[in-house]
Amino acid sequence: METAAPSAVIVAIDGPSGTGKSSTSKAVAAKLGLRYLDTGAQYRAITWWMISNGVDTDDAQAVAVAAGKPSIVSGTDPAAPTITVDGLDAAGPIRTQEVTSRVSAVSAVPEVRTLITELQRAIAAEAARDADGIVVEGRDIGTTVLPDADLKIFLTASAEARAARRSGELRGKEAADLAATKAALIRRDAADSGRKTSPLAKAGDAVEVDTTELTLDQVIECVVTLVEEKRAGRK
């Protein structure tokens, strides 16, 4: 049986799109010497593979049949996280508008979730055994993937704040106006919260942090403190 290192800590960070999960998780993991897993990148990667291989992403049965074909590998160094699909670097392609608009449909397919959840649990178990732990961010980490996580955080922010953050990122690339960005965020959150299998949800024992009025540094500090308190309480 696998045994976790005595000091290993497993942190689950969930929340809607644009609340700061990736930025916060990466920084917290780097500060505390933990590994980092972006589970949204895994769902984006499988979506990219479906699109690249001509699978109709609105056809749940076709997606289910193809789900086991791609090999998705995540690198968990918070300073340089990576994602490959069948050995190809997918970090760029998974961030296109096309993938973003189709990822909710693909990630709602139960067969996809089963496979990706298994991957996520294996990565977390390895980090608990071979390292000091991991910060895993997504939508269902605290509720479904790692219900026994040492610490669960649920980040929120107003739709306006989230859209402003995203519009700032997109400026000069696929420039979208604020209203369209906000509408797209709300649509994706509704799909992710409304699906039957492990929807976006706050775990009952998660600490909710509203980031609307906080700077990124303040959010990072808040989560670092929560992790340190958790570790101190276990000594």
Ligand X SMILES: Nc1ncnc2c1ncn2[C@@H]1O[C@H](COP(=O)(O)OP(=O)(O)OP(=O)(O)O)[C@@H](O)[C@H]1O
Positions touching ligand X (CB under 6 A) are 15, 17-23, 40, 165, 169, 211, 214-216, 219
Q: Which residue is nearest to ligand X (CB)?
A: 20
Tell me if 26 is assigned to a ligand binding site.
no
Write a three-state SS string for the chain.
CCCCCCCCEEEEEECCCCCCHHHHHHHHHHHHCCEEEEHHHHHHHHHHHHHHCCCCCCCHHHHHHHCCCCCEEEECCCCCCEEEECCEECCCHHHCHHHHHHHHHHHCCHHHHHHHHHHHHHHHHHHHHHCCEEEEEECCHHHHHCCCCCEEEEEECCHHHHHHHHHHHHCCCCCCCHHHHHHHHHHHHHHHHHCCCCCCCCCCCCEEEECCCCCHHHHHHHHHHHHHHHHHHHC
Binder among 11, 15, 25, 44 for ligand LCLUPRNS (CB under 6 A):
44
**Candidate segments 52-60, 78-86, 102-110, 161-169, binder of ligand LCLUPRNS by CB under 6 A:** 102-110
Is 188 near ligand LCLUPRNS (CB under 6 A)? yes
Tell me if 17 is assigned to a ligand binding site.
yes
Is 143 near ligand LCLUPRNS (CB under 6 A)? no
Binder among 19, 24, 25, 39 for ligand LCLUPRNS (CB under 6 A):
39
- Binding-site residues from annotation: 15-23
- Residues at the interface with ligand LCLUPRNS (CB under 6 A): 17, 39-40, 43-44, 103-104, 107, 138-141, 188, 192
